Structure 1
């Protein structure tokens, strides 16, 4: 007969085994509910392209899902990094360690995103990114639980650079934001231009939030390039385009401007008279079809502006995440990521989207040209579609990703 101590030990072992089994099952989740975070630029040069608009998009997705997941309320928390990497990293660490945030669904700016990526990797947490451009997010720095959702440097630069080069724009000069996102997107453009038989005559870096772009514009004008490639973003892009027009870079002139990342908010801020004729690539346009218009009108009622591709992608990614949490019956990052890869992304943002093993969500991209004032028929009627680029052509192949998680 077993001793009482042996029986107690056996019972205790059984209880511990049962608890361990329960903790490892998909049913286990935080009792305080599902927490989603956004680390955005709420007040700086990127506030128009992320900021209040991204918060609104995320909340619309939560509301459309019913406000609950796994029987608990879904809570949205927002941090203002102003694009600073150290602030974003500090916020992410506190959220994961203290506030028990389950997933961060966007970070504004590539440098800030790369800083948060390292923390999400260490903590084993889910990170979605729809604002930053850097290819490294799904390249050498990819993680098992991060997703690059809206676009990347390759998709934007490849489509714009190739199209303009094929239209005769063979000599380029770049005005480049002097940080990770700017350099990555110009690097991708250089590769595409080289493959298209075009050349790059030079490049001038400009710091984030530069007060004066006149020197950079003059250098680009004096380069002899036929195309001034713009790799500045947000408020900086608005200011450099206005400066270029003031210095005589006009539609139909000897030099044209091509933006490697331009949002509809930027066009609105610049105005059609100044922005007309510019070529750009986007993952979303509010006036594409009945589905995009239906969402955008709801969004407009709250923000008084049409959504850009990053803001639309925030809605889509939050909804995709919540669907996966509910389907997996778990907030465990590994379990939810597996479910998100299994589920296609099919909504107004992407009709044929899928999350690859390197974390890149691949979908169709679109090439647009900014309309002239005479071509625009109603408010926010800014783009005419030049081409639809299928997902397998828009993004680099899985073999090209450089992600160590990809099986050879």
Structure 2
């Protein structure tokens, strides 16, 4: 009888221990691991814009966080969506249904980001967009689980568009990428140009990954506009600028406004071609000691300085993990609430805050590309013209058009 009682006691203790462990698991990482997917363009027009560099930044964030949260390991998975919403949605669906991915981030290309954010809403999963720009993500297509981090078309319009109109660039012609991002960027910049008293003389759309911009540039040149606004990004912007130089457009008195132009593209075309271009970014490696510290470590492992998108990916992964830790679980509702409640204060988002519509508000910066003579060494490409306070750069939740905040 005594032996039976001891056996029953051991069985009861084991059951209690398993019950506690089960409760702890449910309150922590739902399947014993926190898995983050980095989904972006790794082989196409935006490969340098974010690409493998964003994957590396995400891995750095995980390592700096300690490699685990709530006692569970953190894993990064990644894939190339090839700038195609259907491919991106299929990857995201498999990640959620089969691979148990908890959140998807980066999401370069606005059409892709909108598609994956919509699917994630259906699946009740978190997305954080770093690489796409359309304000619709936190506007009319906002969701309770969608967040927008590094920049958006409104911030670019306020920065680059506003500064050029104020310095005399009051007539514009747009070269616009023919998809959601280009349309949004042109629309937001047009509003800001016209609000400042400027006028848009015309526009032309070009396909994504265009190789020949000659006919588009000739239309822009013929318009007589003081500013040719490049509402595109990545290699499309680089090719536009290089071919504009061949046509002597800047020498002829017109100016180029690269509305989305990052350090990666400046590096790609060189200072001789890019010099003098005014642009808006959310990060630059040489802003201060905190920026330089991250950039130095990133350079050591990836061989180049980080772009705004790559730095933003590090910041968004870190904030997500902090939210998981603060919530005590990776359950979506709790983490989404914690993401909105927690402040953002890192080398990327100094004094940042997440609005009710999911928009992370932080300062943006207006830069001018240095001439070769002004540059003191490799990657010394920008001079700071102005800091744009976050509340000016980004729409408020109330004004965003997000149904959740009306």
What TM-score, normalized to structure 1?
Answer: 0.92
After superposition, what is the alpha-carbon deviation per residue over 1:351-371, rounded to whole angstroms, capped at 9, x for unaligned? 111110001000111101111
Alpha-carbon shift at residue 161 of structure 1 (Å):
0.9
After superposition, what is the alpha-carbon deviation per residue over 1:219-270, rounded to whole angstroms, capped at 9, x for unaligned? 100111011000111011111100000000236x410101111010000011
Aligned partners of 2:68 and 2:174: how far apart in 1? 47
Aligned partners of 2:271 and 2:28: how far apart in 1? 53
Asked if structure 2 preserves the Cα contact closer than 8 Å seen for 1:26 and 1:329, the reply is: no
- 2:301 is the alignment partner of 1:302: yes
Detail structure 1 runs of 4+ shifted over 2 Å in the superposition: 22-26, 28-32
Equivalent residues in 2 for 1:53-64, closer than 5 Å: 53-64=53-64
Asked if structure 2 preserves the Cα contact closer than 8 Å seen for 1:26 and 1:328, the reply is: no
Residue of structure 2 equivalent to 1:334: 333
Aligned partners of 1:305 and 1:210: how far apart in 2? 26
After superposition, what is the alpha-carbon deviation per residue over 1:16-60, rounded to whole angstroms, capped at 9, x for unaligned? xxx9xx879971432340000011111111100111100010000
Structure 1 residue runs of 5 or longer lacking an equivalent are: 1-18
Asked if structure 2 preserves the Cα contact closer than 8 Å seen for 1:370 and 1:384, the reply is: yes
- 2:211 is the alignment partner of 1:181: no
Residue of structure 2 equivalent to 1:10: none
Alpha-carbon shift at residue 342 of structure 1 (Å):
1.3
Equivalent residues in 2 for 1:67-146, closer than 5 Å: 67-146=67-146
State the secondary structure of the residue aligned to 1:358. Answer: coil
Residue of structure 2 equivalent to 1:35: 35
State the secondary structure of the residue aligned to 1:405. Answer: helix
Asked if structure 1 preserves the Cα contact closer than 8 Å seen for 2:30 and 2:331, the reply is: no
Residue of structure 2 equivalent to 1:240: 240
After superposition, what is the alpha-carbon deviation per residue over 1:349-400, rounded to whole angstroms, capped at 9, x for unaligned? 0111111000100011110111111110111011111100111111112221
Aligned partners of 1:88 and 1:32: how far apart in 2? 26
Alpha-carbon shift at residue 276 of structure 1 (Å):
0.6
Asked if structure 2 preserves the Cα contact closer than 8 Å seen for 1:26 and 1:335, the reply is: no
What TM-score, normalized to structure 2?
Answer: 0.93
Aligned partners of 1:57 and 1:387: how far apart in 2? 27
State the secondary structure of the residue aligned to 1:188. Answer: helix
State the secondary structure of the residue aligned to 2:92. Answer: helix
- Report the number of matched residues: 387
Residue of structure 2 equivalent to 1:47: 47
Residue of structure 1 equivalent to 2:321: 322
In the superposition, relative to structure 1, how do residues 81 and 227 fare at CA in structure 2: closer, same or farther (>3 Å)?
same
Aligned partners of 1:249 and 1:340: how far apart in 2? 46
Residue of structure 1 equivalent to 2:196: 196
Asked if structure 1 preserves the Cα contact closer than 8 Å seen for 2:29 and 2:72, the reply is: no
State the secondary structure of the residue aligned to 1:399. Answer: coil
State the secondary structure of the residue aligned to 2:403. Answer: coil
